Each structure stands twice: as C-alpha cells, then as structure tokens.
Amino acid sequence: MIALLRSLGRRAIGFFERLGRANLFLIQVLAGLPSLIPRMGLVVQQVYSVGVLSFLIVAVAGLFVGMVLGLQGYNTLIDFGAEESLGVMVALSLVRELGPVVTALLFAGRAGSALTAEIGLMKATEQLSGMEMMAVDPIKRVIAPRFLAGFIAMPLLAAIFSAIGIFGGYFVGVALLGVDDGAFWSQIQSRVDFNEDIVNGVIKSVVFGFVAVWIALYEGYDAVPTSEGVSRATTRTVVNTSLAVLALDFVLTALMFD
Amino acid sequence: MWNNKTVEITVGVFVAVGLAAFFVLAMQVSNLSAFANEDGYLLEARFDNIGGLKTRAAVTMAGVKVGRVDSIGFDNETYEAVVQLKINHQYNTLPKDTSASIYTSGLLGEQYLSLEPGGDMEYMLENDRFKITQSAMVLEELIGQFLFNKAAEGEDK
C-alpha cells in the first residue's frame, strides 16, 4: 500500500518535473531565436527536412480526406436535396478542423518523430556535449533552427492540405457525382468567411505547429541517452503531440466559434 | 546528400506552394473576393419585422442578385427595423415606387430581400427610402392565424 502511494507520488513529481523542464527549455529556445538572424541558412536546411519532406504525405492525405468528405457528404446531403451545399460542407470541415488537426497529427508522425530521434541520437552519441565543449550552444545551433522551421512549415502544410482537400472534394462531387460546378463554388464563397473561418484555421495551425515542434524537440533533448531511451522518446513525441493537438483543438474551437 | 543550392530551391518552391495554397483559400474559397468588388449605393427600407434577415444577405430583383444587405438597425421611435441595402452601381434605374419584401429561399433556407419594380418614371437615388415594404413571414404567426380562422369558422356553424 505504502509502495503504491510512493510510486504514485514519484510519478506525479516526475510529471511536474518534466513539465517544468519543458517550459524552461521553451524559454531557452525562444531566447535563442534572435541569434538565428545571421544564420538563416540553418533554418532553410531544416525547413527542407521538416516541411518539404512532409509535403507529399500531407498532400496525398489532403486529397483523400477531401475526396472522402465529398463522397460521404454527398450521400447524406442528397437525402435532403441539398447536394449543392456539398462544397460548403467540405470547405468548412477542412478549413476549420481537419486541415489544421490532421496536418498536425501527420506532422507529429512524419517530422516530429524524426526530430526527436535525431536530437536524441545526437545526445546519445554525445554530439551535444561535444558542442558545449567547443563553446557552441547546442540550443542555438541545433534546437532553435528546427523550432523556427517547424513553426514556419506547419501553417503552410495545413494550407496546402485544406486547398488540395477542397479540390479533392470538388473532383468527387462535381466531376464524378454531378454536383453543379457553379453552385459548388458560389455556395463556398458565400458561406466561408475570411476572418471567421480561414484566419481562425491558420491560427489553429500556427498553435499546433508550435506545440508539435516544442514537444518533439523537448522529448529529444530530454531523452535518456540510450537506444531504448531514444525509442521511448520518439513514441512519447507522437503520443503526446497527438493528445495535445486534439485537446487544444477543442479549447481553440470553443474560443473561436462560439 | 544534395548540395546546398538544391535544398534552398526546393524550400523556396515549398514555401511558394504553401503561400499559393493560402492564396487559393483566401480568394477562391472565402468571401474575400466578393467583398473587394462590392461597390454601390445605399438605399433604406423599413420593416415591421425582418424575421431572420441577416447582414450580407442577398438583395434580388426578378431573382437576379443586385446587391447585399449592408446593415440592420432599429429605430427607437417608430419601433421599426431599419435595413440599409447596398445596390450595385450598374442597377441604378430602380423606379421610385419600387417595393421591398423579405422572402425565404426554399422552405427552410436563408432569408433574402426581393425588390419589385413599380411604374414611376423617376429613379431612386442614394439614401432614398422604399415606400412600400412587406415584412418577413413568421411561421408561428401564420400558424396562429390559421388556427384562429379555423376556430372562428367553427363558431359560425
């Protein structure tokens, strides 16, 4: 009984300890961002590995999610004779919810896990402490460029996801199922508001990008420097990012669309 | 590993594609483009009841969209709803005695404003007011009226 309590307490203390370290880490990273200005080349390199390499999976997923939305929406809306609203349904679901959320989940799986593994391995092979020995701050040299890159790439990926998804819905709805072309676009344009829907979707993707790279980098930086520790950290990145994104999505939706 | 130049070019293409996607969302998908070319003159219509009419609802004439509802206000003295309509400049030949009515598109659709041209030789100018207006049909009132008439019929017999 006492042992149970003790292990519970240890877990709780461990949780708060990690939470505190994660926030201190974030402050250090943010403080390291200005030092990137003369070294934008590092950021470009990371935008490549975080953003460009995630492009294909995000684009293909966007296309198929849009096509599925088109198909399912059509089957439901046809019962009410409202299949002209298919475009609105597809566009609003993508821009408001699925674009930012699914992109963030894919981003965590594709880019976040890679970041964690990379940094964790750097730590395990003592490259990070090697840098410190040479008076190079690993946070400024290694972590900050990756952080900024993820922050830049995520909103762009989410916008690509939504745009491709809408064309996927268009393809299924208009080209395959015969919804009227003009009604599809005009209904979208009259119902989707720029400030209300699109800007809020972008805000969501920015927040998710921030959280996703933060968790990925922290887990890597904080990993136990063994092969097992790195593999655990990678798993934790994907799980924690997904949970954080889904929970934050609820909070943001409640704040934005009341 | 690719050389530095290729990486930079791919990143450039990626950022450009991302911004293009955002641009598509802004222009093609949202109402931003519809806002931009919305230019016209204002007219005022007063109603006893506007039902569910909203700002930015369509103003149509013979079924063709000629403008939008610009703002909806309330007159404290006459207790009427004051609706400002923005009519596109190309439709500047509305007769003075044009009437405005609030209709519903479909059975459960959105409400819109329909204009019926009159026979006056003079045209409406900026900030003119519609003389004849017809309020929105409120379903509950209609049902109430119907039931009331039925009850009255019953008494006659």
| Cβ neighbourhood burial of A79 (10 Å; 0-12, 13-18, 19+) | exposed
Please list every residue in chain B whose beta carbon sits closer than 8 Å to the beta carbon of residue A63.
Answer: none
Please list every residue in chain A whose beta carbon sits closer than 8 Å to the beta carbon of residue B28.
Answer: 185, 189
Q: Does B11 touch chain A (CB under 8 A)?
A: yes
Residue carrying structure tokens 């207006």: B133
Distance CA B38, CA B65 (A): 12
Best mutation target, A42, A46, A52, A157, to test chain B (most B CBs within 10 A): A52
Nearest CA of chain B to the CA of A28: how many Å? 27
- Summarize pLDDT for A56-85 with one digit per residue, the tens: 999 999 999 999 999 998 988 888 877 778
pLDDT average, residue stretch A156-162: 92
- Summarize pLDDT for B1-48 with one digit per residue, the tens: 556 778 888 888 888 888 888 888 877 777 665 555 567 888 999 998
Residue A102 near residue A154, CB atoms below 8 Å: no
> Residue B21 and residue A185: Cβ atoms within 8 Å?
no
pLDDT attached to residue B132: 87
Nearest CA of chain A to the CA of B95: how many Å? 29
- Summarize pLDDT for B95-108 with one digit per residue, the tens: 988 999 998 876 66
> Residue A95 and residue B29: Cβ atoms within 8 Å?
yes
List alpha helices for chain A, DSSP H.
2-32, 40-47, 53-77, 86-92, 99-107, 113-124, 127-133, 138, 144-170, 181-191, 200-221, 227-256
- Summarize pLDDT for A168-204 with one digit per residue, the tens: 999 998 888 888 777 788 778 877 878 788 888 899 9
Please list every residue in chain A whose beta carbon sits closer than 8 Å to the beta carbon of residue B11.
Answer: 44, 47-48, 51-52
What is the pTM (predicted TM-score) of this model? 0.74
ipTM associated with this complex: 0.73
Q: Which strand (E) or helix (H) includes residue B150?
A: helix B139-156
Token pair, residue A250, equals: 């609820």
Q: Which strand (E) or helix (H) includes residue B98?
A: none
A186 Cβ partners below 8 Å, 6+ apart?
A: none
DSSP characters for B52-64? T--TT-EEEETTE
State the CB neighbour count (10 A cutoff) for residue A228. Answer: 9
- Mean pLDDT in chain B? 83
